[in-house]
Amino acid sequence: MIFLLLTGSGMFGFGQLSSNLPIVVVTTPGGTDIPNEPKITADMKIIHNGSGLVNNAGDTGNVYTGKVGIEIRGRHSASLPQKPYGFETRDEAGINLNVSILGMPEENDWILTANYNDKTFLRNYLAFELFREMGHYAPRTVYCEVVLNDQYKGIYLIGEKIKQDKNRVNIAKLNPDEHSGDDLTGGYIFANDYYTEYDSWLSNYSPMNRRDADVYFVYFDPKPDILTTSQKTYLKDFVDSFENVLYSPDFKYRSTGYRAYLDVNSFVDYFIIGELSRNVDAYKKSRFYFKDKDSNGGVIHSGPPWDFDWAWKDIKENCIHFNQTDGSGWAYRVNDCNNWPVPPSWEVRLMQDDAFANQIHDRYFLLRKTILSETSLYHVVDSVATLLDEAQARHYQKWDILGINAGTPEYGEQPETFSGEIEKFKSWIARRLDWLDANMVGENSSGDDDRAIFRVFPNPVAAYLRVESDEIIDRIIIFSLLGNPVLEKNECGDFITSVNVSELPPGLFIARIYFKSGEV
């Protein structure tokens, strides 16, 4: 039984909060309000007794107990009643302290994502999970409930901040003393986002479908006050060189065209996530890229994904790509609508290469048989709804927003129950998939339709080799170049499987894939 003391300003007395979710308790000195910036020092404890067990806010923290530096983060989301927070775990001296939180790898930079603008609690979580299932990094997140200064704040996602780290964006750390040669070439994370003159640079190219607009790229990690002049110049010059090629007549050439600058697979998968969710922000803001050192590949990757609370919905705005209720519209055409910030027209140009469009087509329909099937997507949605069923009642007692437009202005009736929001979300996904199935860019380029379509990555590989196919995989045998079998995985029985190759010596090997159909 939970006893609540309700006052005119909200819920209090949550020391006795019990939940099946982890509980995050934050206490600031004297109950001080958390500012937008700078971070203030606070105490935090995180309680989680394990899956299926009850957590109590009054218990001692058993995941983390200690100091944090915490601030409000975000832009539009920071203006909403349920505030999002960024925090650093710190020691008693105020020095950043790397810790593991709720099974996530050790680090010190973390995010508490609010859900005021997402009544399903799924929009960010699902996008991140799908991109990760596609074989890329996306921030790990865990659902939790937050108590701040003895005031209940609702359901949050606690998770990883996007940054360079071996367990996050796994690129080389760029040090301030690296000014030449391979050292200078990475790693960088940059973005299309809100910008200032101080933290960004101006592209040499306006969008193809918005010729009177300027495009800015934002230095993200390392931060602009850490980057040296030569490092800023290098990154700008590299992106300039890529755009010079992309917008040239010869941009399609395999060896000297845009493919020499891009990790195409990541751009294909990012496109699919952005379009599946019809995310108005997928290209114009919180759109991240990263580049490792040339010795580690040195091309531009798309991702990680971020900021999907305006996605998966029909938005009341004057833009045909986002206000349609029949599932139609192209998020990558956002410049047609004169939104701000202004994104580059990279995808618009890339779509003029049939090979790129066909790669998206093949990849999309391959994924439709696995992680993008209605069965798979609805399983994730229903699993989260079940997990949150108890906590959502408390959340919506605190934030009485069911049945009304809150946050993003949306078309249509707003469900008055959490279960209604879940059904609305699933119906939206169904309409979107139907439209994408009928209108997906490109065409089937796999040749003989009877042959299996498959993808093997990463290559080179150090630990786990991942295989995805549109047919059920039976077994995989890896051979040496002499033809001797060195590793075998039997009875895979799925469209997706992984093979642990970490015990094999460095070198070249041949993988033979056997399908249930008998094809090899």
Name the domain boundary from 367, 386, 402: 367
Whether 474 is covered by a domain: the verdict is: yes
Whether 285 is covered by a domain: the verdict is: yes
Residue with tokens 């900021």: 307
Instruction: Note the pLDDT of residue 45.
Output: 98
**Stretch 456-477: mean pLDDT:** 85
Whether 496 is covered by a domain: the verdict is: yes
d(C-alpha 436, C-alpha 213), whole Å: 29
**Stretch 37-44: mean pLDDT:** 96
- Residue 16 sits in the same domain as residue 78: yes
170 alpha-carbon distance from chain centroid: 15
pLDDT at position 402 over 50: yes
Cα atoms found within 13 Å of the Cα of residue 41, Cβ hemisphere only: 10
d(C-alpha 197, C-alpha 298), whole Å: 27
Structure tokens that stand for 55 in this block:
């957590």
Q: Which burial class, exposed, middle or buried, applies to 158 when counting CB atoms under 10 A from its CB (0-12, 13-18, 19+)? A: buried
Instruction: Note the pLDDT of residue 409.
Output: 86
- Residue 144 sits in the same domain as residue 281: no
- Residue 155 sits in the same domain as residue 188: no
Residues with Cβ < 8 Å from 377, sequence gap 6 or more? 126, 371, 426, 429
Contact status, residue 446 vs residue 363, Cβ threshold 8 Å? no
d(C-alpha 119, C-alpha 126), whole Å: 14
pLDDT tens digit sequence for 413-454: 899 999 999 999 999 999 999 999 999 999 998 654 455 667
d(C-alpha 160, C-alpha 88), whole Å: 11
Q: The pTM is what?
A: 0.86
Whether 436 is covered by a domain: the verdict is: no
Residues paired with residue 157 on neighbouring β-strands, in sequence order: 113, 143
pLDDT at position 104 over 70: yes
Percent of the chain that is helix, strand, coil (3-state, to 5)? 25, 25, 50
- Residue 104 sits in the same domain as residue 197: no
Type of residue at 271:
F
- Residue 148 sits in the same domain as residue 195: no
Instruction: Note the pLDDT of residue 518.
Output: 66
**Stretch 192-210: mean pLDDT:** 94
- Residue 214 sits in the same domain as residue 356: yes
Which of 138, 111, 109 is closest to 125 using CA atoms? 138
**Stretch 80-92: mean pLDDT:** 98
Q: Which burial class, exposed, middle or buried, applies to 239 when counting CB atoms under 10 A from its CB (0-12, 13-18, 19+)? A: buried
**Ramachandran sector of residue 423 (left: φ over 0; alpha: ψ -120 to 50; beta: rest):** alpha
- Residue 131 sits in the same domain as residue 246: no
pLDDT tens digit sequence for 282-330: 999 999 999 999 999 999 999 999 999 999 999 988 888 888 889 999 9
d(C-alpha 198, C-alpha 207), whole Å: 22
d(C-alpha 45, C-alpha 67), whole Å: 9
Whether 421 is covered by a domain: the verdict is: no
pLDDT averaged over every residue in the chain:
92
- Residue 75 sits in the same domain as residue 34: yes
- Residue 208 sits in the same domain as residue 276: yes
Range of the domain at 499: 454-515
Residues paired with residue 510 on neighbouring β-strands, in sequence order: 479
Whether 362 is covered by a domain: the verdict is: yes
Name the 3-class secondary structure at 356: helix
**Stretch 17-36: mean pLDDT:** 97
Which of 157, 72, 92, 172 is closest to 120 using CA atoms? 157
Which of 190, 189, 188, 218 is closest to 202 using CA atoms? 218
Whether 170 is covered by a domain: the verdict is: no
The per-residue DSSP string of 205-232 comes to ---TT-TT---EEEEEES-TTTS-HHHH
- Residue 153 sits in the same domain as residue 186: no
Q: Which burial class, exposed, middle or buried, applies to 331 when counting CB atoms under 10 A from its CB (0-12, 13-18, 19+)? A: buried
Whether 480 is covered by a domain: the verdict is: yes
- Residue 231 sits in the same domain as residue 131: no
252 alpha-carbon distance from chain centroid: 28
d(C-alpha 316, C-alpha 328), whole Å: 14
d(C-alpha 89, C-alpha 203), whole Å: 36
Residues paired with residue 290 on neighbouring β-strands, in sequence order: 189, 301
Strand-strand pairing, 485-489 and 464-480? antiparallel
Structure tokens that stand for 149 in this block:
């200064």
- Exposed e or buried b for every residue in 472-490, given b needs 16+ CB within 10 A? ebbbbbbeeeeeeebbebe
Which of 391, 465, 508 is closest to 156 using CA atoms? 391
Query: What's the total number of domains in the chain?
Result: 3
**Other C-beta atoms lying within 10 Å of the C-beta of residue 200:** 22
Instruction: Note the pLDDT of residue 5.
Output: 30
pLDDT tens digit sequence for 493-506: 777 888 999 889 98
pLDDT at position 8 over 80: no
pLDDT tens digit sequence for 325-383: 899 999 999 989 888 999 999 999 999 999 999 999 999 999 999 999 999 999 999 99
The per-residue DSSP string of 339-368 comes to -SSPPP-HHHHHTTSHHHHHHHHHHHHHHT
Rg of the chain over CA atoms, in angstroms? 24
Using pLDDT thresholds of 50, 70 and 90, give the confidence band for residue 172. very high
Instruction: Note the pLDDT of residue 1.
Output: 25
d(C-alpha 435, C-alpha 441), whole Å: 11
**Stretch 30-59: mean pLDDT:** 96
- Residue 209 sits in the same domain as residue 346: yes
- Kindly report the length of the chain: 520
Name the domain boundary from 310, 343, 367: 367
Contact status, residue 66 vs residue 46, Cβ threshold 8 Å? no
Instruction: Note the pLDDT of residue 446.
Output: 67
Name the domain boundary from 367, 402, 437: 367
Instruction: Note the pLDDT of residue 14.
Output: 61
Instruction: Note the pLDDT of residue 293.
Output: 98
Q: Give the chain's end-to-end CA distance (angstroms, integer).
A: 59
Residue with tokens 């997928």: 282
